[in-house]
Amino acid sequence: VSQETVARPFQVILLKQSFSLKRYLCDTYDTSHRLLPAVGDPKRYAVLQWVHAAEATFALHSISVMYARWHQKSGDPKETEIGLSKNIQNDLDFLNAELEKSKGKFLFGDELTVADIQMHFSVAFILARELGTLGKRWERCEKFVKDCEATESYKKAVEKTGHSF
């Protein structure tokens, strides 16, 4: 940012609106890269792996069970769920093992990242609705959910929004 930019602040606003809408809250407001490491830092891509896995793997696999429960009109929905559960159980086994490797409460130690924020909902949802879990437990995943929900920022978000499963 040069003095030219300081002299004409409205240009800054216009420029911002032409930015790619990706990387929004972190790129716009987390300039110290606390929640998402900077471009080029290898840790950034390790964190983004979980941001994408939360939807493209964990949510995709588990929501298919929910839809089967809602919409399957013939055949045995329980048999369908058993078939679909294989992916979900693999996902949770993997997450459980990765959390065991962490040196702290969260995926990358004791410091929260967007990986935890994105993964928390997917895992909490699977465990709360017992989507494909078939009675099996993943203790490290359960502890991860509790640790996420014990953060001050999560508690404030629930208090303000009234979020509930």
156 makes contact with other proteins (CB under 8 A): yes
Q: In angstroms, what is the minimal distance from the CB of 41 to other proteins?
A: 14
Number of residues lying near other proteins (CB under 8 A): 50
Rg (CA), the chain: 20
Footprint of other proteins on 84-123 (CB under 8 A): 112, 114, 117-118, 120-121
Question: What's the closest the beta carbon of residue 46 comes to other proteins, in angstroms?
Answer: 14
Binding to other proteins, residues 29-58 (CB under 8 A): 29-32, 35-36, 48, 51-52, 54-55
Provide the binding-site residues for other proteins, judged by CB under 8 A. Answer: 1, 3, 5-9, 12-13, 16-17, 21-32, 35-36, 48, 51-52, 54-55, 70, 112, 114, 117-118, 120-121, 151-154, 156-158, 160-165
